[in-house]
């Protein structure tokens, strides 16, 4: 093999391998960002009274939020699928080049298992966020409380006989009583 052909083939391999690495890195990065956003949205909706009140106030806003969430997830899934295709094509080009054995770069290829795990994992998170959004409009709209009623709550843990070595065995007793004035 001539020096020019050697350098040309090496250069092609370096470019293809760098592309394969970048595709894998970008897919992992975008998947982590989508998961982080979905976890953040879950926490925000679960803990923010203002967010729940906003979503509770208007049924249309809940449906728009869920539609936007679904559309964003669809775009993520399509982009992840395109990354899988680009990875597969780049891997094929590396095989055709036949510069190094496949074992050197096969772990950089985005396989079907990885793609499915990433997409399904984020799908579950998106469904969780969507169900939280939709559930803000379900149930009693306003809770009323009578200021005259006072209650005491006593929680106690009663171990069972076999719990001398296992602290998790026993019964949790909750005693709620109305306080006398």
pLDDT confidence of 148, banded at 50, 70, 90?
A: low
pLDDT confidence of 8, banded at 50, 70, 90?
A: confident
Mean pLDDT, the chain, whole residue set? 82
Handedness of CA 157, 161, 167, 169 (dihedral sign): negative
Residue 153 lies in a domain: no
Greater pLDDT, 81 or 178:
81
The bridge status of strand 151-159 relative to strand 170-178 is: antiparallel
Domain with 78 in it? 3-135
- At 32-49, the pLDDT tens digits run 999 999 999 999 998 988
Residue 51 lies in a domain: yes
User: Rg for the chain (alpha carbons), in Å?
Assistant: 28
Nearest to 119 by CA among 156, 79, 151, 157: 79
Q: What is the pTM of this model?
A: 0.69
Above 80 in pLDDT, residue 159? no
Could you tell me which residues are beta bridge partners of residue 59? none
Residue 77 lies in a domain: yes
pLDDT confidence of 158, banded at 50, 70, 90?
A: low
| pLDDT for position 7 | 79
Could you tell me which residues are beta bridge partners of residue 157? 172
| pLDDT for position 174 | 55
What's the number of domains the chain is made of? 1
Identify the DSSP state of 123: H
Residue 173 lies in a domain: no
| pLDDT for position 97 | 85
Per-residue burial over 124-143, b = 16 or more CB atoms within 10 Å of its CB, e = otherwise:
ebbebbbebbeebbeeeeee
Residue 107 lies in a domain: yes
Q: Distance (Å, rounded) from C-alpha 68 to C-alpha 32?
A: 19
Residue 142 lies in a domain: no
The pair of structure tokens assigned to 167 is: 């602290």
């Amino acid at each position: 093999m001539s020096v020019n052909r050697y350098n040309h083939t090496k250069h092609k391999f370096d470019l293809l391998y760098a592309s394969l690495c970048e595709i894998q890195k970008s897919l992992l990065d975008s998947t982590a960002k989508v998961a982080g956003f979905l976890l953040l949205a879950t926490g925000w909706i679960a803990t923010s009274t203002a967010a729940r009140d906003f979503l509770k106030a208007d049924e249309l806003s809940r449906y728009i939020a869920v539609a936007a969430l679904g559309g964003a997830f669809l775009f993520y899934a399509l982009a992840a699928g395109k990354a899988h295709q680009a990875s597969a094509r780049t891997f094929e080009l590396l095989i055709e080049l036949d510069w190094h054995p496949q074992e050197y770069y096969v772990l950089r290829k985005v396989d079907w298992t990885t793609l499915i795990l990433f997409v399904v994992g984020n799908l579950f998170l998106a469904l969780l966020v969507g169900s939280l959004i939709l559930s803000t409009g379900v149930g009693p709209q306003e809770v009323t409380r009578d200021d005259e009623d006072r209650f005491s709550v006593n929680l106690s843990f009663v171990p069972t006989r076999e719990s001398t070595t296992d602290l998790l065995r026993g019964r949790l007793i909750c005693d709620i009583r109305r306080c006398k004035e």
